[in-house]
Copies of this chain bind each other. A is one copy, B any other.
Amino acid sequence: MSAPYPDVAVPRERWPVAVLGATGAVGQTFVRLLARHPWFRLAEVAASERSAGQTYREAARWLEGTLPADVASLRVVPCDPSAVRSRIVFSALDAAAAGEIEPAFAAAGRFVFSNAKNYRMEPDVPLVIPEINAAHLDVLPVQRARRGWAGCIITNANCAAISAAMPLGPLHQAFGLERVFVTTMQAVSGAGYPGVASLDILGNVIPYIGDEEPKIERELPKMLGRFTGDRIEPAAFGVSASANRVAVEHGHTVNLSIGFERRVTAEDCIAVLEAWQGDACARGLPSSPERVLVLDPRPDRPQPRRDVDTGHGMTSIVGRIRPDPLLDVKLVALSHNTIRGAAGASLLNAEVVAARGAFMQ
C-alpha cells in the first residue's frame, strides 16, 4: 500500500498470524488484506467447531474476488489457544464467541487484535486508531498486570464510530469537543453476509441498526480520551447518534453537527484537517494510506460508491465543512467500513505494535 518502514525490525521470515472467525465476512476481509502482506504471513485460519478440519475453501463461502490459493488449502482449526500456534491473532469473532475466546488467547500469551465489541469499553483495553490515539497502547502493561495475562487484547471500534472519529480526532485535539450529533447512513456490508435481505433494503432506508447508536455514543469519547497512567479516561464530550442502513455496498457516510468548548469556525476546522497527518508512529506502515484524511472541496462529496476505495479503503474523506446554525460546524465524513472500519483497522494496529518492537521480544 505505501512506502517501506525502514526502522522496523522485521524478521527475515514474516511473522505467522492467525485469523479467528476466519470464514465470516470480516474474517474474509482479513484473509484478503493479509494475502500479500509484507510483514505477516497468514499461517492459520480458525473457526467454529463445525468448520474445523475442513479446508478453508470448503468452510468459507468466498465472497469477493479470488480466494488466494495458499489459503484455500489451509485446514481450519478450532478457536482455541491449544490449536492455534501464532502469537499474533486477529479476531473477527462475533460477540457471542469473543467474550470467552479472546481472553483465553490473551492469557495464553497472544496478541489479540479484535473487532469484537466485548472488551472495547474496558478501561484497561485500548480502543485504537493509531493516527489518533496510539498513546493508548501504553495501557497494555496495566492490562497484563491487572488481568495476569501473558498476552493482551487490543481492540478497534465499531465501523460507524470510526467514520466519525477520523475527523473528530484532530478537531478534538485542536479545539476540544463539547457535543456531537452523528447521523449515519451505513452500507449493507456492515451487517456481514448474508446480512441485510434485499427485500429489506432495495429502494429503501432502514432507520435502525441494532445496538449501533449506543456503541457510537460511548466509543467515540473513549477513542478521543487519554491514558492517565492507570486507565483510559474517556473524553468529556457528549454524543447523540442516529443510525440508518442504506442501499450502499461499502462505506459508512456520517453527517456530523459539532460544538466545541470555544467558538470555532469552518475555516478553523478546514485548516486543522488539511494540516493533520496523524501520529507519526502510524505513517509508512504497510497498511498506512498515503493520506489519512482527504478534504474534498466539491459541494456534493464524499460519496460512498465513488470515494470509498480512496487509499485502498484506509483513507477517510471529509467534505461539506460549513457553519452549523446551532453549534459550530457541520460536516460529512466517509470511511470504508470493512477496511478502515474493521479488518484494516486491526491490521494497522498490529503494524504499529510491530513497529514498536513488541513482537521481537
Contact = CB atoms under 8 A, between A and B. Distances in A.
A249 interface: yes
A110 interface: no
B203 A248 contact: yes
Nearest to A240: B326
14 contacts: A188-B198, A188-B202, A193-B197, A193-B199, A196-B198, A197-B197, A203-B248, A205-B246, A207-B253, A207-B319, A240-B326, A240-B327, A244-B253, A246-B246
A240 B329 CA distance: 10
Contacts of A63: 199
Contacts of A330: 240, 242
Copies in the complex: 4
Interface string A119-139: 000000000000000000000
A244 B330 CA distance: 13
Contacts of A39: none
A195 B200 CA distance: 10
A112 B65 CA distance: 37
Given A202-B188, A249-B199, A207 B240 contact: no
Instruction: Tell me the interface secondary structure of chain A in the complex.
Output: mixed
Interface in A223-254: 238-240, 242, 244, 246-249, 253
Given A197-B194, A197-B197, A325-B217, A203 B203 contact: yes
A244 B248 contact: no
A55 interface: no
A304 interface: yes
A303 B240 contact: no
Contact of A249 (B183, B203, B242): B203
